[in-house]
Structure 1
Amino acid sequence: MRKQSTILEIKSLSLLILLFGSLPLLAVEAVFVDTKINLDLEIANTDSKRKRGLMFRDQLDQNQGMIFIWSDSDTRCMWMKNTSTPLSVAYLSKSGHILEIHDLKPFSEKSVCSNQKARM
């Protein structure tokens, strides 16, 4: 993912998470200004799922990822321990707007934290 100052809105994300939060996979349509991208996101909505994240995966398909969901908004931090694929993290507001995006390096144990309170 590339950094972009324009706000990205993920349509109906909050509603879908409320309705389908217990399912292992969420299909999302992300809208960037004039471009739509379909994403297949695994849901990490428990401490154990968030702790494991995408560790020990050899690869991810294009437009595949994971969404980490918490019950409240707070400063969130991610790292790449035991993760061999370069990834980007997008911190989202409760309404599904991207607050910021950070590129992460494989196997890095450096925490990359949100500058704003994030829900996802």
Structure 2
Amino acid sequence: MMRLPKSARLIRFLTALIIAFQAGTAVADLASYPVVIQTPEGNQFYYLLELAATPAARQKGLMNRYDLGSGDGMLFVWPGEDYRSFWMKNTPISLDILFFSSELTLVSRHENTVPFSKKRLPSGKPARYVVN
């Protein structure tokens, strides 16, 4: 389990989440927000993530997308932590799936997923946020 530095967790990691929830709970699905993820080693990764904060947006995810730009993805947000599971059905591109706790600790990940696979990809531990 990789724990992000506190400053990265509080200030940088979920910039998209902070901006989105400042506007209240009526967040428009699929709005894109800049996000910086910093590893404990200090490496920074920049993303432009669509926000999936409603049940409908979380259910659809990135299905039926044939193209995703480098650094583009989706941030899935739930009201609380729980065991999460994804699959690649109807998803024609390979994705990395990162599961984070409420404290923004990386709890698990699946890399280079198989397109169109119906295999379940579980979080293994409770997660509140997922980045694809």
Normalising TM by the smaller chain, what interval?
0.7 to 0.9
Q: Aligned-pair distance for 1:63? A: 1.1
Local SS of the residue matching 1:65:
strand
Question: Where do 5+ consecutive residues of structure 1 fail to align?
Answer: none
Q: Aligned-pair distance for 1:110? A: 1.4
More helix by percentage: 2
Q: Is residue 65 from structure 1 mapped to residue 73 from structure 2 by the alignment?
A: yes
What letter is aligned with 2:73?
G
What letter is aligned with 1:26?
Y
Local SS of the residue matching 2:108:
strand
State the distance in 2 between where 1:110 and 1:89 align. Answer: 14
Q: Which of 118, 122, 125 lines up with 1:116 in the alignment?
A: 125
1:14–1:95 Cα contact (<8 Å) kept: no
- Counting matched residue pairs gives 116
2:14–2:36 Cα contact (<8 Å) kept: no
State the TM-score, normalizing by the size of structure 1.
0.86
2:2–2:105 Cα contact (<8 Å) kept: no
State the distance in 1 between where 2:2 and 2:75 align. Answer: 20
State the distance in 2 between where 1:15 and 1:59 align. Answer: 24
What letter is aligned with 1:45?
A
Percent identity, aligned pairs only, is 28
